[in-house]
Structure 1
Amino acid sequence: MLSAALLTLLSFVLLFVGAELLVRGGVGVALRLGLTSLVVGLTVVAYGTSSPELIVSVKAAFIGQSGIAVGNVVGSNIFNIAVILGLASLIKPIAVNATAMRRDAPVMLGVTVLGILVLLDSTIQRWEGVLLFLSSVIYTWWVVRDARKNSEPSDDAKPMKLWVAIGFVMAGLGVLALGSQLLVDNAVFMARTWGVSEAVIGLTIIAAGTSMPELATSVVGAIRGHSDISLGNVIGSNIFNILFVLGLASIIHPIHAQGLSWTDQGALLLSAIALLPFMWSGRQIGRSEGLILLAGYGIYLALLWPKG
């Protein structure tokens, strides 16, 4: 049991390192292809920090661990808003970008509702996965098109050489694959040892572990005063998790989401809804809102864990 816990901690480190390599390489490739820094932040960074969720959920779906595949996404989205934005806003109140209020936060709420509707029958069929996946492509195209139309290229961007950036991407994917292997295998072992469901493990331990890149990115962004990074990273990751991660995982193998309760889906929806008035209130997420988010997550954990 101790070795499984240590290997799980090691997997968190590998997932963090792998996502960092992937994000750096992806940004380098994107800038070399002429994308603006704004587009890179809205897409590559947000999606890159969600790469652990993608790798873990796809692997779990492939080997038939549907509870982990879905629990990972739902738990990560709750964790991203309640814990990551909660901690980031405690460090420094998060100023809210007008575009995030007007476009991205409402889209995230709509995507959350779509995800819950898809999960009503506790199953995600391949055709539903295709719908989610295509929606992620459309959203990304929309963001890139809108950002290119309303922003100028960065003159001071100094992207790394293309072959170096590609090397970072490949190395990141390799480390992520290894980290996901360790995380899924040992989390399943601990779930069986503790007598809790795979869904609970996915909603808590795995969700927190795969959200480490988002946590690091948002907290560092808050410390350095880059509120747009902290908020945009979380919103973009939550959209990507439902549309792309669940979509691709269910295309590979139809998902049966046993173990996911109305409490979990309610917490997912409530966290997305709560973010909207917090953003509109003074156009910032303050420390008081951060405390509310963290307290809400504590209540959710108290309701969740005994059911295993």
Structure 2
Amino acid sequence: MNLLMFLAGLVLLVLGANALVRGASNLALSFGISPLVVGLTIVAFGTSAPEMAVSVGAVLDGRTDIAVGNVVGSNVFNVLFILGVSALITPLAVNRQLIRQEVPIMLGASLLLAALALDGSVSMIEGGLLFALLLGYTVFLIVQSRRESAAARSESGGETVPAEAGGWDSRLPVQLLLIAVGLAALVGGSDLLVQAAVSFAKAIGVSDLIIGLTIVSAGTSLPEVAASLAAAVKGERDIAVGNVVGSNVFNILGCVGLSGLVSGAAGLGIAPSVLNFDLWVMLAVALACLPVFMTGREIARWEGAVFVGYYVAYVTYLVLAAKDHDALPEFSVVMMSFVVPLTIVTLLVAMFGSRGGDRRSVGQGKG
């Protein structure tokens, strides 16, 4: 029964996210918002709507560990697993704007969350701050897009391309209905998913936090998985990367922010294990994006394999720690003494080698 509830919750979350994204995207385009802004905001935020629904629902149900674990686990899953598998399909080109703007914003949001969580909770005021920053980020993207669109129109002599005739979902009532149905499916799906996850945790003796960091976070990230893998298969590689980065920003500012707002006077509690380990894994994963993205401005297949390998190692550590397994000390020593340092050295060599190649190509061009 719990398995059926879990699967039903996942199906509702995926279908609800798809309906919400489709309706909101078409509605935004109908009001003249550029596809770029729609992709960075509504699509990326829409695919993260399951995380928000689950986190807020868990807080209202008193399961704050699931709420926090879901966000932290989803951000780790998005970068390591989704980008890793996408890069294994095809090397992912990284847009220069992502390196200069979006990834630093993701890093800043991750650092801010770590700073706010140091006292063991995210208060209502801090949650409001995070959510306000999300609104500011969205406004910034819209203003930036309008400026770029105005510059493009001036270069083309003011000419505009007429919009193509839309399909069945191009009418305003249909778009509003899709948004309403999507939101309802997300709420219902999140409730089923949280209930099933809690039952799983009790049945196998694993804490709510571990379930949130693994099963729930991976399940609520299915829309991101579908969007990024489809983009990679179609060759739209920048979309695959942009979707992950935008979703991670939304998870921190939106999911944690709104969860903190609805948590009441007690605030959103952060478990000691999250403060001591998982939050820093999330931050390290965000930091790893910069050197990886800068190696030739693409995520190569070998880098994708490293990402996937680290996600497997992360989940393995969580399971071993939850069961207090005898192999945990040896596993930790191998990871920290050999695997992690070797990966860091390899990435640094690749990054500086790429920069050297760029300088040589510039010098040859001048010659």
Into which bin does the TM-score normalised by the smaller protein fall? over 0.9
The reply to whether residue 275 of structure 1 matches residue 289 of structure 2 is: yes
Aligned-partner Cα distance in 2 for 1:266–1:249:
20
What is the aligned counterpart of 2:206 among 178, 196, 204? 196
Aligned-partner Cα distance in 2 for 1:154–1:288:
41
- Counterpart for residue 327 of structure 2: none
Deviation, structure 1 residue 10 = 2.1
- Counterpart for residue 79 of structure 1: 77
Deviation, structure 1 residue 261 = 4.5
The reply to whether residue 128 of structure 1 matches residue 138 of structure 2 is: no
- Counterpart for residue 269 of structure 2: 256
Deviation, structure 1 residue 156 = 4.4
Unaligned runs of 5+ in 1: none
Which SS does the other structure have where 1:196 is aligned?
coil
Alignment of 1:201-280 (within 5 A): 201-253=211-263, 254-258=267-271, 259-280=273-294
Q: Which runs of 4+ in 1 moved over 6 A?
A: none
CA contact (8 A) 1:39 1:148 kept: no
Which SS does the other structure have where 1:179 is aligned?
helix
CA contact (8 A) 1:37 1:154 kept: no
The reply to whether residue 10 of structure 1 matches residue 24 of structure 2 is: no
Alpha-carbon spacing, 1:77–1:154, altered in 2? closer, same or farther (3 Å): farther
The reply to whether residue 292 of structure 1 matches residue 292 of structure 2 is: no
Aligned-partner Cα distance in 1 for 2:36–2:22:
15
Q: Deviations over 1:196-243 (max 9, x none)?
A: 111111000000000000000000011111112111110000000000
Alpha-carbon spacing, 1:270–1:154, altered in 2? closer, same or farther (3 Å): farther
Aligned-partner Cα distance in 2 for 1:162–1:92:
37
Aligned-partner Cα distance in 2 for 1:225–1:257:
40
CA contact (8 A) 1:108 1:238 kept: yes
- Structure with higher Rg: it is 2
AA at the equivalent of 1:274? A
CA contact (8 A) 1:67 1:260 kept: no
- Counterpart for residue 166 of structure 1: 176
CA contact (8 A) 2:118 2:275 kept: no
Which SS does the other structure have where 1:260 is aligned?
helix
Alpha-carbon spacing, 1:38–1:307, altered in 2? closer, same or farther (3 Å): same
TM-score between both structures, scaled by the size of structure 2: 0.81
TM-score between both structures, scaled by the size of structure 1: 0.96
Deviation, structure 1 residue 302 = 1.4
Aligned-partner Cα distance in 2 for 1:154–1:114:
41
AA at the equivalent of 1:54? M
Q: Deviations over 1:28-49 (max 9, x none)?
A: 1101111011111111100000
CA contact (8 A) 1:14 1:175 kept: yes
Which SS does the other structure have where 2:202 is aligned?
helix
What is the aligned counterpart of 1:60 among 46, 58, 61? 58
Aligned-partner Cα distance in 2 for 1:59–1:40:
26
CA contact (8 A) 1:39 1:144 kept: yes
Which SS does the other structure have where 1:35 is aligned?
coil
Q: State the structure with bigger RCO (CA 8 A, min sep 6), 1 or 2.
A: 1
Aligned-partner Cα distance in 1 for 2:306–2:45:
27
The reply to whether residue 38 of structure 1 matches residue 48 of structure 2 is: no
Q: Deviations over 1:30-80 (max 9, x none)?
A: 011110111111111000000000111011111211000100000000000
Aligned-partner Cα distance in 2 for 1:42–1:270:
23
Count residues with an aligned counterpart.
306
Q: What's the C-alpha RMSD, in Å, of the aligned pairs?
A: 1.3
Q: Deviations over 1:134-174 (max 9, x none)?
A: 11111111111112211357644545111111111111111
Alpha-carbon spacing, 1:293–1:134, altered in 2? closer, same or farther (3 Å): same
Greater shift, 259-268 or 138-147, is seen at: 259-268
Which SS does the other structure have where 2:274 is aligned?
coil
Identity percentage over the alignment? 42
